[in-house]
Chains A and B, each alone.
Chain A
Amino acid sequence: MQQQIIRETFHLVSKRDDNVCNFLEGGSLIGGSDYKLIYRHYATLYFVFCVDSSESELGILDLIQVFVETLDKCFENVCELDLIFHMDKVHYILQEVVMGGMVLETNMNEIVAQVELQNRMEKSEVSSVHIHIEQPGVTPVQLT
Chain B
Amino acid sequence: MSDVVEKTLTALPGLFDSQTGAAKITNRLKQLIKSITELTSKHEEENLMKQELSAMKEQVSSPNTTMKQMREVMVRAMYCEMLGYDASFTYIHAIKLAQQGSVLEKRVGYLAVSLFLSEGHELLLLLVNTVLKDLQSTNLIEACMALTVVAQVFPKDMIPAVLPLVEDKLSHPKEIIRRKAVLALYKFYLIAPNQVQHIHAKFRKALCDKDPGVMTSSLHIYLQLIRESPDGYKDLTGSFVAILKQVVGGKLPMDFNYHNVPAPWLQIQLLRILSLLGREDQSTSELMYEVLDESLRRAEMNHNITYAILYECVKAVYTIHPKAELLEKAARCIGNFVLSPKINLKYLGLKALTYVVQHDAKLALQHQMTIIECLDHSDFTIKRETLELLFRITNAQNVTVIVEKMLDFLRGCNDEHTVIHLVGKVAELAEKYPFHSLTVTNVTRMR
Residues of chain A at the chain B interface (Cβ within 8 Å): 2-3, 17, 19-28, 31-32, 54, 56-59, 61-63, 66, 84-88, 91-92, 95, 99-100, 102-107, 109-110, 114, 117-118, 121-122, 125-130, 132-135, 137-144
Contact = CB atoms under 8 A, between A and B. Distances in A.
Given A88-B108, A102-B186, A114-B176, 10 more contacts: A28-B416, A57-B308, A86-B26, A105-B213, A107-B256, A114-B144, A133-B141, A134-B140, A135-B174, A140-B210
Interface string B57-81: 0000000000000000001001100
B307 interface: yes
A17 B180 contact: no
Contact of B104 (A22, A28, A121): A121
B308 A62 contact: yes
Given A2-B84, A102-B186, A133-B139, A20 B379 contact: yes
Interface in B1-54: 7, 10-11, 14-15, 18, 26, 29-30, 33
B175 interface: yes
B175 to A, nearest CB: 5
A24 B415 CA distance: 12
A110 B18 CA distance: 30
Given A107-B255, A125-B18, A141 B212 contact: yes
B357 to A, nearest CB: 18
Nearest to A55: B268
A19 B152 CA distance: 36
Contacts of B217: 102, 104
Contacts of A27: 415, 417
Interface of B: 7, 10-11, 14-15, 18, 26, 29-30, 33, 75, 78-79, 82, 84, 102-104, 107-108, 111, 115, 138-141, 144, 148, 151-152, 174-176, 179-180, 183-184, 186-187, 208, 210-213, 215, 217, 220, 242-243, 246, 251-253, 255-256, 258, 264-265, 268, 272, 304-305, 307-308, 311-312, 343-344, 346-348, 378-382, 384, 415-418, 421
B211 A57 contact: no
Given A125-B104, A140-B210, A104 B304 contact: no
A56 B210 contact: no
Contacts of A125: 18, 102, 104
A58 B308 contact: yes
Given A23-B347, A57-B308, A140 B211 contact: yes
Nearest to A29: B417
A59 B115 CA distance: 26
Q: Counting chain B CB atoms within 10 Å of each CB, which of A25, A56, A122, A135 scores highest?
A: A56
A61 B304 CA distance: 8
Contacts of B265: 59, 63, 103, 106
A98 B289 CA distance: 32
Contact of A58 (B246, B307, B382): B307
Nearest to A118: B141
Find the residue from A95, A117, A122 having the highest chain B CB count within 10 A. A95
B183 A58 contact: no
B184 A3 contact: no
Nearest to A128: B11
A141 B210 contact: yes
Nearest to B153: A100
Given A103-B265, A114-B176, A141-B253, A91 B111 contact: yes
Nearest to A125: B104
Contacts of A139: 253
A27 B305 CA distance: 27
A92 B343 CA distance: 33
Contacts of B344: 21-23, 57-58, 61
B295 to A, nearest CB: 14
B279 to A, nearest CB: 15
B190 to A, nearest CB: 9
B239 to A, nearest CB: 8
B79 to A, nearest CB: 7
B307 to A, nearest CB: 6
Given A3-B84, A141-B212, A143-B210, A100 B183 contact: yes
B343 A32 contact: no
B179 A58 contact: no
A95 B418 contact: no
23 contacts: A2-B84, A20-B343, A21-B343, A21-B381, A26-B415, A27-B415, A31-B417, A57-B308, A57-B347, A59-B268, A59-B305, A59-B308, A61-B344, A62-B304, A63-B265, A85-B30, A87-B79, A99-B152, A102-B217, A104-B217, A118-B141, A141-B211, A143-B208
A23 B311 contact: no
Given A21-B381, A25-B381, A118-B141, A129 B415 contact: no
Nearest to B12: A126
Contact of B418 (A31, A87, A99): A31
A90 to B, nearest CB: 11
Contacts of A54: 272
